Amino acid sequence: MRLLAIESSTEYCSVAVSVGGDPVERVENAGQNHSERMFPMIAQVLAESGSSLQSLDAIAFGAGPGSFTGLRIACGVAQGLGFALGIPLVPVGTLEALAHAGNSRHVLTVLDARMGELYLAAFEMLPDGARTLIEPALHRPDQLPDLPAGTWQGLGSGFAAHADALGQRYAGLLSAVDAGAFPRASHVLSIGASILRAGGGVSAERAAPLYVRDKVALTSAERLARVR
């Protein structure tokens, strides 16, 4: 199976391709330049792996939640290539992909959602993949969900943006935190391959981002309410 994966839900842009062995991956801190960097990076990993677009069997992409612009870019690129090549797409949750960056059985993944909020999910990492314990959702720092008892590893930019709130809410449960961890295309690739082996995947026209949040900015009244 030849699978291409793309991920741009954070400031990092990454692409990876697998042709049966270890993935070939490129990762860049692209800032706001994901759209400019995506196709050159795809060309690089395909060339290094000895593959071509025409040889791909499917494309996996980080579907969200995350940056609205980044999610649209990943989905749009995947859809364009999927339509042109006539191959299926595999939307992969970014918080699940982030969980694969950890090294603990129980992983709490949190991304900074801006606007004083965060995206959060929790997973149990098993030999055959991740089991979702808390579904990906948008939360305010003062309204965080309960975690099951146990020892947890925290991953993601939310731990930098909301360190105090998360530390207080989950005191005694977090054994380690890596606020610099982010979803990578190699993680999307691994999850996407498992979904395909299980018979998953969608047509290009059915692929869509998972925004979770339905707005990208606060109104003036909402901004004032946040500081009172």
Residue 223 has pLDDT above 60, yes or no: no
| Residue 88 DSSP symbol | -
Q: Are 188 and 92 in contact (CB under 8 A)?
A: yes
Q: What is the pTM of this model?
A: 0.91
Residue 225 has pLDDT above 80, yes or no: no
- Dihedral sign of CA atoms 163, 134, 125, 1 in order: negative
Q: Are 102 and 115 in contact (CB under 8 A)?
A: no
| Nearest in space to 61 (alpha carbons), one of 163, 180, 187 | 187
Residue 22 has pLDDT above 90, yes or no: no
The Cα-based distances of 105 to 13, 150, 153 in angstroms read: 27, 10, 8
Residue-by-residue DSSP string for 185-205: HHHHHHHHHHHHHTT--B-GG
Model confidence pLDDT, tens digit, residues 97-155: 999 999 999 999 999 999 999 999 999 999 999 999 999 999 999 999 999 999 999 99
Sketch out the chain's domains with CATH numbers: 3-94+183-206 (3.30.420.40), 102-178 (3.30.420.40)
Here the tokens at position 159 are 């731990």
Model confidence pLDDT, tens digit, residues 167-191: 999 999 999 999 999 999 999 999 9
CA distance 44 to 15: 9
User: Average pLDDT, whole number, for the chain?
Assistant: 93
Residues 6 or more apart whose CB falls under 8 angstroms from that of 62 comprise 6, 7, 8, 9, 71, 74, 92, 93, 94, 97, 183, 185, 188
